[in-house]
Chain A
Amino acid sequence: MSELFSYVCLGVGIVFSFWGTSHLLQRRSVFFKLHSLSVADTLGSMAILFGLLLNRPSEWPLLLLAIICLAIWNTMLGYVLAYCSSGNGKND
Chain B
Amino acid sequence: MIGYLNLILRLVIWFLLTANLSVPNIIIGVTIALLLPHSHKVRGSLTDWLRALWGTIVAIPQAYMEAVEIIFRPHNFEEVTMEQVQPNRPPGLVFLDIFLITFTPKSIVLKYHEENGGYEVHWVRRRKKV
Contact = CB atoms under 8 A, between A and B. Distances in A.
Give yes or no for direct A-B contact (beta carbon below 8 Å).
yes
A35 B111 contact: no
B122 A61 contact: no
Most buried by B among A16, A31, A35: A35
* Interface residue range, chain A: 20 to 34
B16 A82 contact: no
B70 interface: yes
Given A61-B15, A61-B16, A65-B16, A19 B71 contact: yes
A25 interface: no
Nearest to A47: B64
A1 interface: no
Interface of A: 16, 19, 29, 31-32, 34-36, 38-39, 42-43, 61-62, 64-65, 68, 71-72, 75-76, 78-79, 82-83, 86
A38 B71 CA distance: 12
B10 to A, nearest CB: 14
B110 A35 contact: no
7 contacts: A16-B71, A31-B122, A32-B78, A82-B102, A83-B110, A83-B111, A86-B111
Given A38-B102, A79-B108, 14 more contacts: A31-B110, A31-B122, A35-B75, A36-B70, A38-B103, A39-B105, A43-B63, A61-B16, A65-B13, A72-B99, A79-B102, A82-B110, A82-B122, A83-B111
A38 B105 contact: yes
B44 to A, nearest CB: 20
B120 to A, nearest CB: 8
Nearest to A29: B78
B103 A42 contact: yes
Contacts of A72: 99
Contacts of B102: 38, 75-76, 78-79, 82
